[in-house]
Amino acid sequence: MERKNILVIIFSIISMIYGSLPPSDDNILHIGGIFPIGGEGGWQGGQACMPAANLALDDVNREKNLLPGFTLKLHANDSECEPGLGAAVMYNLLYNAPQKLMLLAGCSTVCTTVAEASKMWNLVVLCYGASSPALSDRNRFPTLFRTHPSATVHNPTRIKLLQKFGWSKIAILQQAEEVFISTVEDLESRCKEAGIEIVTRQSFLSDPSDAVRNLRRSDARIIVGLFYVVAARRVLCEVYHQNLFGKSYVWFFIGWYEDNWFEINLDKEGISCTKEEMRLAAEGHLTTEALMWNQNNDTTISGMTSEDFRQRLNKMLKEDGYDIDNNRYPEGYQEAPLAYDAVWSVALAFNKSMEKLLKMGKSLKNFTYTDKEIADEIYSAINSTQFLGVSGYVAFSSQGDRIALTQIEQVIDGKYVKLGYYDTQSDNLTWKNRERWIGGKVPQDRTIVKKVLRTVSLPLFISMGSISALGIVTAIILIIFNIWNRHRRVILSSHPVCNTIMLVGTIACFISVFLLGADGRFVEPWEYAGICQARAWMLSIGFTLAFGAMFSKVWRVHRLTTKAKADQAKLFMSKKISSVQKKVQPWKLYTMVSGLLAIDVIILGAWQGLDPLQRTIEVFPMELPLYGDDDAKISPELEHCESENNNVWLGIIYGYKGLVLVFGLFLAYETRSIKVKQINDSRYVGMSIYNVVVLCLITAPVTMVIASQQDASFAFVALAIIFCCFLSMALIFVPKVIEVIQHPRDKAESKYNPDVGFSKEEEERYQKLINENEELQKLIAAKDEKIKILKQKIAERDNLKSGGTGNVPKDSLIIADFVTGEGTSDSAIGGGISVYTRSSRASASDFEFSESYL
């Protein structure tokens, strides 16, 4: 290599000498050239660029129409891409004759040094190989132009591609080099402008492993990588190890690496990946690259196509000893057209300024380093230079930057495939639709989080719903039954209105099952709050109607029995035998139910008014989808009905209901063995109260625990409601239905019910019977007295006889009651009046005794 470089230098110097022989010394325009060739590290692009520049000199000098009468001569030396050496070369060029009209430079660092200094000599500097964005600073480099596009030329292209594929979240991985730092700064400001989020910006000096690992951690999917090719290989190997490749990831690399960069020099650079692994990791990545070769077959200003130029350059390089046929290109081969076009730019600019200077009476030949006028003329000439070169259309921006097309490529099956071109200037993206994604679709720029509402499973809802519907139908049939058979004794004496209220409450409870299952599957989020309210109202009122009706029954029964006991006591005290007429006022029952209902309405109204139930969302930990792509994650959500002070309101409601429940339980227990004829089904009512209480006490706490499992809690609550309602209906109505079926002709007999008004004759008859009964009871009492006296006498006699005491029955209490109840119809006297004789030791024998005695 060293020898080749030296050969190149010697060769070019020889050719320079040859090229400058024929014209006289006066007609030579001298320019200086600084080429990085023999250095270590950095860009040694002079290896290919210097031959290209010499080629251009030949062509320019051969062109008759260009710089007529003048010859362009290049004085070149090697900078090794070292800024210090570059400066030394520059001073040599400037301080040694002949006078130079312009400087060519390559390698960003050298170019920076040269361009910053040369303004002091009024020299225009043209860089053919410097991509540093820092050079686009007109204040610092007022005389700099470059045929090499700035590295930032990739950025508009990157933004365009990001927008094209709908990516709005990227990560950046960069080598800590000045050129990449300024490129990233430019990229960041463009991203900000375009509304693209940069999740992370990782940089590394030489070992990218930590930086790549950090990328993995920040869930980066679209990653822009900026580094030199040696670092790129390390990055790619680390990418393989960190599994940051494949269908979920898109890498943007710089396009100026060799086409097979990821397969070569692996052993030499100690890359711990095999060729296959590198190929795998590289598959599908995108590159952006400023175009340095004219893409079409247009004839350029030199009369060549870019392909002609390639042939000539290859031939020249082969002569220099490069094995072009085996893809052994010298460094800077890609940029060679830039060097070629740089020389043409110089020549064209000189040609242009010569004409103008001639009018001013000046000549380029008279240029000195203090001559600002000629310098300005050269500057404006090159600034306006436009031509079609082998590197494409050559023009300079106001910053002195090359305006260029960028090319987008993708690695498909291990080979770079051109996807399209982008013209930054006119925002013209030419796309060939050749891109291929590993997953078959454009990768996402982030993990897509799908919000999935957890809803009650449909089969469960349908089964619960059908049972509830059946319940509603049953309840309606029972209401009809209740009204249809209202004249029957068995119905009449059971407070049918009360039972109807209970059935209505049951229907409300069944409806609430539907409301409980009406979740996000059926209702829109904005309707859900309404469902919440409806649930609360429906369930509360249903409960109050159903349970309240049962509660008021047992309450009445309890009242009746306590009253009866008091009356017994009164009777006992006064020894006055009278009939105790107990009539259950229906309004008392209704008042009880209405009272409970009113409390309900007040509580619910306050709840809704002050702190209404709202739809709240419980979010569960992310889940992987069961099927489909692994890019998505599922964020399960569950709707809840909650108000701000949910617990307070629930406490109030539960407290109130609990109180009613417990009190109902107490009353049911107290009256468990009491049969009151006015309310013939009180024992069944009691039983259904037990059942409701038990289920409620189980359900309420359990549902609070399993509230997060929508299916379980719905099933639990729905089953509890359904079970309660069906059992209550069964307990209260099955005996009645059986009775009605067994005694289909019972209707006419039932004449009397304390709750139902009756006719006048019946009243009279009833009154008569009462009187009769009273008479009879008086008689009984009188007889009893007599018996007592007689018994006493017998006892006395017996005592006298045997000296012991006999078994004397204690005082008998007689309660006369108006009974129409079942089971006593046999002993009914006069159509519904029966006489119960109950002694404190109420036994059958006592009863028989007194009756037979009667």
Ligand X SMILES: *[C@@H]1O[C@H](CO)[C@@H](O)[C@H](O)[C@H]1NC(C)=O
In the complex, the residues that contact ligand X under the rule CB under 6 A are 65-66, 77, 88-89, 92, 348, 351, 355, 421, 426, 428, 430
Residue 53, CA atoms < 13 Å, CB-side half-sphere: 38
Length of the chain: 854
Chain mean position to CA 94: 67
Nearest approach, Cβ of residue 409 and ligand X (Å): 15
Nearer to ligand X, 92 or 311 (CB): 92
Nearest approach, Cβ of residue 301 and ligand X (Å): 7
Nearest approach, Cβ of residue 89 and ligand X (Å): 4
Nearest approach, Cβ of residue 108 and ligand X (Å): 19
Nearest approach, Cβ of residue 185 and ligand X (Å): 29
Residue 188 tokens read as 């960041």
Nearest approach, Cβ of residue 444 and ligand X (Å): 29
Nearer to ligand X, 52 or 89 (CB): 89
Kindly give the interhelix angle for 178-194 and 154-164, rounded to the nearest 10 degrees.
40
Report the alpha-carbon distance of residue 479 to residue 78 in Å, rounded.
109
Nearer to ligand X, 33 or 443 (CB): 33
Nearest approach, Cβ of residue 345 and ligand X (Å): 12
Nearest approach, Cβ of residue 429 and ligand X (Å): 8
Nearest approach, Cβ of residue 254 and ligand X (Å): 22
Nearest approach, Cβ of residue 289 and ligand X (Å): 15
What is the helix (H) or strand (E) element at residue 30, kind and residue range? strand 28-35
DSSP 736-784: HHHHHHH-TT-GGG----TTS---HHHHHHHHHHHHHHHHHHHHHHHHH
- Angle 145-149-154 from CA coordinates, rounded to 5°: 150
Nearer to ligand X, 428 or 645 (CB): 428
**Alpha helices for 269-363 (secondary structure H):** 275-282, 306-319, 336-359
Nearer to ligand X, 38 or 129 (CB): 38
- Any idea which residue has 């540093």 for tokens? 132
Nearer to ligand X, 370 or 426 (CB): 426
Which own/partner contact pairs does 756-765 have at CB distance under 8 Å and 24+ positions apart? 756/492, 765/830, 765/831
* Closest C-alpha to 167, from 243, 251, 242, 226: 251
Nearer to ligand X, 425 or 792 (CB): 425
Nearer to ligand X, 92 or 274 (CB): 92
Residue 2 tokens read as 């060293």
- Amino acid at the residue 556: R
Nearer to ligand X, 64 or 760 (CB): 64
Nearer to ligand X, 18 or 758 (CB): 18
Residue 14, CA atoms < 13 Å, CB-side half-sphere: 7
Nearest approach, Cβ of residue 292 and ligand X (Å): 16
Nearer to ligand X, 60 or 127 (CB): 60
Residues 6+ apart with CB under 8 A from 371: 122
DSSP 148: S
Report the alpha-carbon distance of residue 598 to residue 591 in Å, rounded.
10
541 touches 505 (CB < 8 A): yes
* Closest C-alpha to 329, from 304, 344, 310: 310
Name the β-bridge partners of 180.
none
